[in-house]
Amino acid sequence: MYLQVTDLKKSYGQDTGYTPVLKGITMGVERGQMCVIQGTSGSGKSTLLHCIGGLDTMDSGSVQVDGIEIAGLRPDALSDYRRVSLGFIFQFYNLIPNLTVRENIAVCEYLSEHPLDLDELLEILGLSNHSDKFPPQLSGGQQQRCAIARALIKNPKLLLCDEPTGALDSKTSRDILMLLEKINEIYGTTMLIVTHNNAIKNMVHKVITIKDGLIKKDYINEVRVKAAELEDL
């Protein structure tokens, strides 16, 4: 199992403000799988993603990625884990406004010893003709493509996507999902996609549903639908 989470618990606050968010999550994802994590707002899905990504600490439990135990890593080792193994895509693109598309991507290229080819990535993501533009000159979909390229340039083993289509219209959402599907096919990148969009679950290998900090469903898709054929995005 490439990603193994065991009895993960996470809470916020203390005393009267104590709020348990994850109440004992156990799940696994094989290398190269695309996995959707679903749940209503407040269910704990983004908190789970942040714990796996080392952006948030956990109260107890275990998170192993490619045999590396994340819980208890020293800050320098945790930083290395995020730099080497992970790519992050968020709903809000977090691009640097005074850098061009190429420069925004190149910032992360320098973090990897084995980066992907930047020009090839621009071509795959349809950004070749926009590489010298600045983020304010781009559409929302183009900005999200740039954010995806920035995450992928490091050639990460695991791509964490938190509501990657949440701020996009249905057509642009489909385009982004087709790109993620293509990236998975070309590079074999393992992906965790947190989403409230029920249609996206049909295109991935595995679906996990969280409710009130616990896993309610965890299953493999026997029949997948291509992103281009998804309905009700």
CATH pick for 3-229 out of 3.60.20.10, 3.40.630.30, 3.40.50.2300, 3.40.50.300 = 3.40.50.300
- 182 DSSP 8-state letter: H
pLDDT digits (tens, 9 = 90+) for 17-28: 889 999 999 999
Q: Mean pLDDT over residues 133-147, rounded?
A: 92
CB 28 within 8 A of CB 3: yes
For the chain, what percent of residues have pLDDT higher than 90? 61
Token pair belonging to 20: 């348990």
CB 194 within 8 A of CB 43: no
Give the model's confidence band at 102: pLDDT under 50 very low, under 70 low, under 90 confident, else very high: very high
**Per-residue model confidence (pLDDT) at position 77:** 92
Q: pLDDT at position 138, please?
A: 94
Look at residue 31 in the predicted model and tell me its pLDDT.
96
Nearest alpha-carbon partner for 95 in 106, 84, 110: 106
Residue-level pLDDT at 168: 81
DSSP H or E stretch at residue 155: none
Q: How confident is the model at residue 214 (pLDDT cuts 50, 70, 90)?
A: very high
Give percent of the chain with pLDDT exceeding 70.
100
The pLDDT confidence band at residue 167, using thresholds 50, 70 and 90, is confident
- pLDDT computed for residue 202 by the predictor: 95
Q: pTM of whole model > 0.85? A: yes
| The two three-digit tokens of residue 54, written as one number | 């080392």
Does pLDDT of 217 surpass 90?
A: yes
State pLDDT tens for residues 184-198: 998 899 999 999 888
Question: Tokens 């549903």 correspond to what residue?
Answer: 209
Dist CA 112 CA 105 (whole Å): 12
221's enclosing H/E stretch is: none
Q: Using one digit for the tens of pLDDT, what is the confidence trace for 32-56?
A: 999 999 988 888 999 999 999 998 9
pLDDT digits (tens, 9 = 90+) for 50-100: 999 998 999 999 999 999 899 888 999 998 888 888 999 887 888 999 999
Task: Identify the pLDDT of residue 197.
Answer: 87
Domain ranges of the chain: 3-229
List, in sequence order, every residue forming a beta bridge with 220; answer none if it has no partner. 206
pLDDT of residue 111: 80
